[in-house]
Structure 1
Amino acid sequence: MMTKKRIDISKYLAYFFLIILALIWLFPAVFGLLTSFKSQGDIMNVGFRMLPANWVMQNYVKLLQNGSSAPIVTWFFNSLFVSTTHSLLVVLIVSLTAFGYTRINFKGRDFLFYSILAISMFPSAVNIIPSYKIVDSFGWTNNFLVLIVPGLGGVSNVFLVRQFMQGIPLEYDESAKMDGATDFTIYSKIIIPLVKPILIVTGMFSFVGSWNDFLWPTIVMNNVKMLTITAGLQLLQDLYGNYVMIGQLMAAAVIAMIPTVLLFVFAQKYFIDSLNLNVGLK
């Protein structure tokens, strides 16, 4: 009875701390959402007020109508195109690379992988100037390629998928080869269905990372029409940063959050499945 009681107490304590952490993370998002429905006079009132005194939609209407200096609809679809294309290419390239590192034997395979993994430990900030010089020499500035191509072969994603693939027995490959299957057939018909959960999570992380990327788009894009929504929020802060326009700024932030929230809601099952390296072998 004592052991059971201790287990129950530890479970309740875990739930308590998780709820506290959830509230800490959710409060800014909820406050920003509620602020986006406040009128100008409501925002300018002195003192803290969580709920709007009068619920209004004027912040969203004015924001969407401003298509010249702050084309947020264009920014939204720019981000959607860039993030979707980037995440799909990441899944393809990372899965092929991880397949090569786990299922194909070649001289220096492990040394090459761990060398690249060690190099990737350097802070990403030190690569900004060299990366800009490279893409500028290609003529990719103010082009969506500069947001899509860099980072396609992220070593952390390769490492994650590689670890997942290592949990798949090599006997699957050997049996397929005895039936005349090629390496590509093994990759596409056997390995990919088994590692689908981790590939979906990799794609999800890549989408969110590309969608939330702020520094790189502000460096390589100076055309307002080509900005992503995160870089556009910085421009909105310059335009609407005064106290009167806080409602429109919060409305833009809420619009920017919608895809990532929906992605997590619909893909959380695969995220949980990816934690089990043997989920594809059931």
Structure 2
Amino acid sequence: MNASTTVDLNCDMGESFGAWTLGQDAELMPLLTSANVACGFHAGDPSVMRQTVRRALAAGVAIGAHPGLPDLVGFGRRNMDISAEEAFDMTVYQLGALAAVVRAEGGQLHHLKPHGALYNMAATNAALAEAIAEALYKVQPELMLYGLAGSELTKAGEKIGLRTAHEVFADRTYQPNGTLTPRRQPDALITSSEVAIAQVLRMVQGGWVRTQQGTEVAIRADTVCLHGDGAHALEFARQLRTALAGAGVVVQIPGPAPATPSPSGR
């Protein structure tokens, strides 16, 4: 079992676009320790990226690039038949865009976490996983790579020499092979806060998760993903923080924290 007394809380942020607003970024940010900022392919735009980075820096939250598939209409959650070379190029392009925004605001990037379908594809496809890991390694090898616990992505990161964070999900059900239940299937999402919190505590403190089929699978929980686009996301985040504190689990940024930014002068 991979039990832990510390854990990171991350959330996908900056997923508004133009005139459309998604999520409760301003309210959720203080409850997190790391934020995955959309880089414009599946969501986000230059102004939203900058605003989100500013919020994270003000709250002392670690900033991660959140590259996705080029699919605004499908929010990056639809599989695409891409090659490993395309996955590499997409990752480099989006990482570079957010890195520039973070640097302009006087901050430092902390990690990279793929989004949606790209994330799930890389969890089981070794070639895609290796391409994403290589992209990060060649651009900013000091950053952490967030990936599904025990997946091809975390294996690829560790193999190439990246620091990796094994990620678990509070509101998703699991399959016996450790993958997430596809969203299109029944019971893919956990809608009860009590059930979701119990699952998180089992994964963090016990090092295991109960699958949709009722079996128990060992799991490593370095970071827990909270989805910020749910109707009760803010209340759930507060409840989870309270439950973790009550269980003696310290919520903190994984690995070395980014340096505190100097004033931008604007």
TM > 0.5 fold call: no
Q: Normalised by the size of structure 1, how large is the TM-score?
A: 0.22
| More strand per residue | 2
- The higher radius of gyration belongs to 1
Q: Normalised by the size of structure 2, how large is the TM-score?
A: 0.23
| More helix per residue | 1
Which structure exhibits the higher relative contact order, with contacts defined as CA atoms closer than 8 Å and separated by 6 or more residues? Answer: 1
